[in-house]
Amino acid sequence: MTRSVTAAIVVQVCVLTALCVQRTTAQEQMAEQVFKNVLVLKGIPADQFMDTMGMFASSLLYDCTGCHVDEILVDRSAFAIATPRIQRARQMVAMVNALNKTYFAGQPRVTCFTCHRGSGVPDVVPDLGLQYGEVSFDNPNAMRIFPEPAPSAGQVFERYLAALGGRERLAALGSVVAAGTYVGFNTNDLEVPIEIHARAPDQLATVVRLPTGDGVRVYDGRSAWAAEEWRQLPLMSLTGGNLSGARFEALTWFPVGLEKAYPQWQVGTRLIDDRELVILQGTRPGELPVNLYFDEGGLLVRSMRWSSTPVGTVPTRTDYADYRDVDGVKIPFRLVVTWTNGRNTIVLREVRPRAPIPAGRFARPAPFTPR
Ligand code: HEC
Ligand code: HEC
């Protein structure tokens, strides 16, 4: 595994009194510094580079060994070994860039998914079933919504907060400490313990206790890190859409703050699994939107967020279920997170609102160390 040391950028903030305060900003971990054989996807942070791999896997429905050699399963340095499909994929990146540049004014209108749509060999001949069939191929989780004038976003939030136990009780929820189980792509279907610490308005730390070591993720209100065994670096800084996604995840624990955290909300509706859901789309300047899906009772049942990469945008979906009453406030005890690299299920067993949180819980975690 590549463990290049990353350069911490130290910013000097000097004020007039000549007093200098040293502050370390988020670490720059560029893909080409971290990995050995990056030829086309240069100049992006390592976490976003991994999202490009998710985009490839998701667009072609290949797993990582669809392009990489099988040795990656036992030796991570083998990711750098070139294969004919890796060479082909590099050509495809160049092709996609050229198409967008030449014909779409540099806008990312063509991505791997545009042609591949879940197959290594894109279809050439149109499908009459699509033309005349009954089935809708409309993606219910699409980013785009069709804004409707009523109800207003404020009304949808009011209903949501009321369904959860009321604005007042929720506003008093300064912290949540929860414990339960986690099953994910990285546990081989094994249930392992998870601990969650959340502090209003937007701090979140999760620890997944794998037999091989603890996987830690932290959002401290400004920066986000992941120290997880499966990642390519023992401590990965999250950037771009992964950073705003970490913020969003933290915010969902405190719905009163969530409303204020996005300057603009729009409302739409969608039919998903025969249910008419109300969608709220939140936007912040410089970020892709987040979509929140509410059921008939006003509860949040799904969220979608996105991360853009040089080869297209990757989605992350969270489904919330099994809302239970904890001290007069409803909290979803089952969360399923689905993204391009896997699916994780979190089932809470114990939730303690307003529980004290140990000092330093939201500090930058130590790099992953095997148990
Ligand atoms: C469609 C083919 C394809 C799939 C599927 C794919 N990759 Fe890649 N991978 C590439 C290409 C192409 C490169 C080289 C990128 C470049 O040259 O900029 C690469 C490079 C990498 C590297 C950098 C290795 C090094 O040291 O240089 C890592 C790590 C990696 N991939 C991980 C993954 C993971 C994890 C998955 C599964 C989620 C995955 N890849 C799926 C095509 C693929
Ligand atoms: C404009 C359409 C188009 C786009 C966009 C596109 N591809 Fe392709 N891709 C193709 C076609 C066509 C083939 C050849 C399929 C065949 O063998 O008939 C192909 C083949 C491939 C193959 C070889 C598949 C195999 O099983 O041998 C890989 C890998 C691949 N593409 C990766 C990508 C990646 C990664 C992207 C995004 C960066 C991408 N493609 C974007 C059209 C496209």
233 with 29: CB under 8 angstroms? Answer: yes
- The Cα–Cα gap between 25 and 13 comes to 12
Chunked into runs of 10 residues, the chain (371 residues) has average pLDDT values of: 32 30 53 95 95 96 96 94 98 98 96 96 89 74 90 96 97 96 93 98 97 97 96 94 97 95 95 90 96 97 95 96 97 96 95 95 97 90
- The Cα–Cα gap between 142 and 306 comes to 10
Q: Residue 211: is the preceding peptide bond cis (ω within 30°)?
A: no
- For residue 62 and ligand 2, the question of a CB distance below 6 A is answered with no
Q: What residue's CA is closest to ligand 1, atom 13?
A: 86
Ligand 2: nearest atom to the Cα of 311? 38
State residue 137's pLDDT score. Answer: 57
State residue 141's pLDDT score. Answer: 85
Distance from the alpha carbon of residue 94 to the mean position of ligand 2, in angstroms:
11
- The Cα–Cα gap between 280 and 159 comes to 12
With b meaning 16 or more CB within 10 Å and e meaning fewer, what string describes 272-297? eeeeebbbbbbeeeebbbbbbbbbee
Name the residue of 40, 61, 114, 116 to mutate for ligand 2: max ligand atoms within 8 A of Cβ. Answer: 116
Ligand 2: nearest atom to the Cα of 96? 5
Contacts of 92 (CB under 8 A, 6+ apart): 112
- For residue 85 and ligand 2, the question of a CB distance below 6 A is answered with yes
State residue 273's pLDDT score. Answer: 83
- For residue 89 and ligand 2, the question of a CB distance below 6 A is answered with yes
**Measuring from each residue's beta carbon to the nearest atom of ligand 1, which residues come in under 6 Å?**
2, 35-41, 53-54, 56-57, 60, 62, 64, 66-68, 79-80, 85-86, 89-90, 232, 341
Instruction: Return the biggest CA–CA distance within the chain.
Output: 74
Distance from the alpha carbon of residue 192 to the mean position of ligand 1, in angstroms:
28
Q: What residue's CA is closest to ligand 1, atom 25?
A: 80
Q: Which ligand is nearest to the CA of 342?
A: 1
